[in-house]
Amino acid sequence: MKNILYGIMYSFKEIKNSKIFYSFLIFALILISGSYFVSQTSFINQGRIMVDFSIFAISIFNIFIGIFIGASVVYDDVEKKSIFIGITRPVKRTEYLTGRFLGLAAAIIFSTVIMMFIFYFVLLIMHKFIVPVVPNAGAVVSGAKSAHNNFNLQNRSAAYAAPNHPFTFYMLPQPLIIQGLFIIIESIFISAAALLFSLVTSKALASIFAILIFFIGNVSSRMNDLVKPVKKIIKGKVVIVNQANHILTSIVHFIYTVLPNFSIFNISSEAAYKLDISSGIIFYRLIYGISYTVLLFIISSLLFARKDIS
Amino acid sequence: MIEIKNVTKYFRVGFFGTRKNAVEDLSLDIDGGKVTGFFGPNGAGKSTTIKMIVGLIKASKGSIKINGYDSFDYRARLKLGYLPENPSFPRGLKGIEIINYYAKLLNKKINKNEIYDALKLAGIFYAKNTQAHKYSKGMTQRLALAVSIIGDPEILIFDEPLSGLDPIGRKEFKDIIFKLKERKKTIFFSSHVLADSKELCDRIAVLVNGRLIKNENLENIEKEAAVYAEEKKEDRLSGEYNTPLEVYLYDLMLKNRKN
Ligand SMILES: Nc1ncnc2c1ncn2[C@@H]1O[C@H](COP(=O)(O)OP(=O)(O)OP(=O)(O)O)[C@@H](O)[C@H]1O
Ligand SMILES: [Mg+2]
């Protein structure tokens, strides 16, 4: 346990100091700050453009961090032989691997939180998209409430916030915070896949595979919807119509079932309309991401335990 | 201390994954409290053997036990320090951060003074606040030595400890090995510099083409060397090699080499 903790700290420090990490981080921060200028190209709905653009930047860069560092965090250590001394201490290989992986997870959390904060400050300065928090009412506006009664609440709180409280504290709306959380889960998830691939192939191939998995995992549910047989009413009768041939349908369905579905972590449309995400959905998607990640990590750990390191 | 029994290691090479033996049917006991030198030409399988001992690679056949534990068990390394050949450290961390981290991975508390002492002994204390990837080869070697002796382990496995060092460094490292020897540590080190043999070793093992062809006390092997020198009656002491022992070991390796 103690060894894992030190491993995490060490690994986090190493990743945080790595060129690839802070170049991604800085680039994302530039994009987020730049979202203001992008939004200026439009006259309507500038806030929404900023949100879409920034969330896209935050998620894509964290996924990049997850994939590229995930594929190299152990691979490079083996390749450059810097693993030799650490792993010949009295530690279990699983402890080493856990330390490395959780260190990367910590780095992803760190970068997402920083990016979300910058995003928040940009919105704060623009005074767009943020919701006031009313101290005396005791309720945070962006609680886990259904989208249904959200509108009333917002109107009410806006009224509250007005004259009596000179210092109003503004927060990101709930779906945006949840989106940040989902980005963390998603990036850690894909990094576990990249780590697993990097144990059996080269770093470059592992990154490519992880990108492919991510891409397919994002479109697979939509693809599945496209090829699924649909009910149609033709001449007053309900008939089931196949939209694609059988082979294609089953291939797509197979891919949809086997590969992880990443599209569930993308809630930018809900975020853009400030629709609260229900706690059931949050819970289910978190469990989905975490259990998949744990499964991938266990496979990695079994592979790594017997691996020749030379 | 360390028991190596009938160990074979093959690597799979090429497209079809054909087996290539790096170490063949090696049996060797490394005694406690002694210095064993492990000699052999390039590619003999010395590093492969050492990596199997420290649990980096798994023997294809046979078993390796350290203090009764299988070499893949982490408990085998509870009292073991390892200096790899061409050591390397992660980028971006200072020497002191690196040694602190490795000291924490030991199963006992190491205080700051112990760490400083190890760094001083290895002669790298002055550069402790420099990032380790900016070290020269010899400096890296020194840091790795400091890491390997931290926590005062009983068993020390050094893979070519003297390579990459300047003459002063070589002398210093040898002195460190002498000191460790006086304190009755079990030391197993590989080298291809035959001159290291006589000064440091109690015992000499010679590996050629993955096969152990000699495993003797220093006295016995010196006697054999003297006899060999008598028989040969060649005066070759003037060149590269200065003692009968070195000539003997050299010829032994040459004879057993396949290619
Ligand atoms: N990972 C590996 N994959 C394939 N072959 C390997 C691997 N590691 C070592 N070998 C082979 O095993 C043999 C022994 O290598 P090893 O590194 O043990 O030699 P060595 O005695 O340490 O040599 P040197 O004195 O040059 O360090 C060599 O023929 C080498 O090519
Ligand atoms: Mg070697």
Write down the ipTM of this complex. Answer: 0.88
Q: Which of B77, B84, B86 sits opposite A90 (nearest CB)?
A: B77
B44 CA from centroid of ligand 1 (Å): 7
Nearest chain B Cα distance for residue A194, angstroms: 20
A245/A193: higher pLDDT: A193
Mutate to test the pocket of ligand 1, among B47, B53, B85, B191 (most ligand atoms within 8 A of CB): B47
Supply the pLDDT for residue A139.
46
Supply the pLDDT for residue B236.
59
Supply the pLDDT for residue A154.
47
Highest mean pLDDT among A2-6, A290-294, B243-247: A290-294
Digit-coded pLDDT (tens) for A255-271: 888 888 888 898 888 88
Q: B35-39 and B186-191 as β-strands: parallel, antiparallel, unpaired? A: parallel
Those residues of chain B whose CB sits closer than 8 Å to some CB in chain A are 11, 48, 51, 54-58, 74-75, 77-78, 80, 82, 84, 86-93, 97, 101-102, 104-107, 144, 147-148
Q: What is the mean pLDDT of residues A124-149?
A: 60
Q: What is the DSSP letter of A137?
A: T
Q: Which of B48, B55, B88 sits opposite A82 (nearest CB)?
A: B88
Digit-coded pLDDT (tens) for B188-235: 999 887 777 777 888 989 898 889 988 888 888 888 888 887 777 666
How buried is residue B68: exposed, middle or buried, by Cβ count under 10 Å (0-12/13-18/19+)?
A: exposed
Inter-CA distances, A221 with A116, A245, A270, Å: 28, 18, 18
Digit-coded pLDDT (tens) for A8-29: 998 998 888 888 888 888 888 8
Nearest-CA residue of chain A relative to B89?
A82
pTM: 0.87
The answer for residues whose C-beta is within 8 angstroms of residue B231's C-beta and 6 or more apart is none
Task: Residue B231: count other Cβ atoms within 10 Å of its Cβ.
Answer: 8
Is B54 in Cβ contact with A81 (below 8 Å)?
no
Q: Which of A2, A90, A310 sits opposite B78 (nearest CB)?
A: A90
Identify the sign of the CA torsion B244, B242, B198, B187. Answer: negative
Q: What is the mean pLDDT of residues A68-97?
A: 92
Nearest chain A Cα distance for residue B259, angstroms: 24
Q: Is the pLDDT of residue A142 over 70?
A: no
Q: What are phi and psi of B22, to 5 degrees?
A: -100, -35
Question: How many angstroms separate the CA atoms of A266 and A58, rounded?
Answer: 12
Supply the pLDDT for residue A111.
94
Ranges of chain B whose pLDDT falls below 50: none
Is B102 in Cβ contact with A88 (below 8 Å)?
no
Mutate to test the pocket of ligand 1, among B24, B26, B48 (most ligand atoms within 8 A of CB): B48
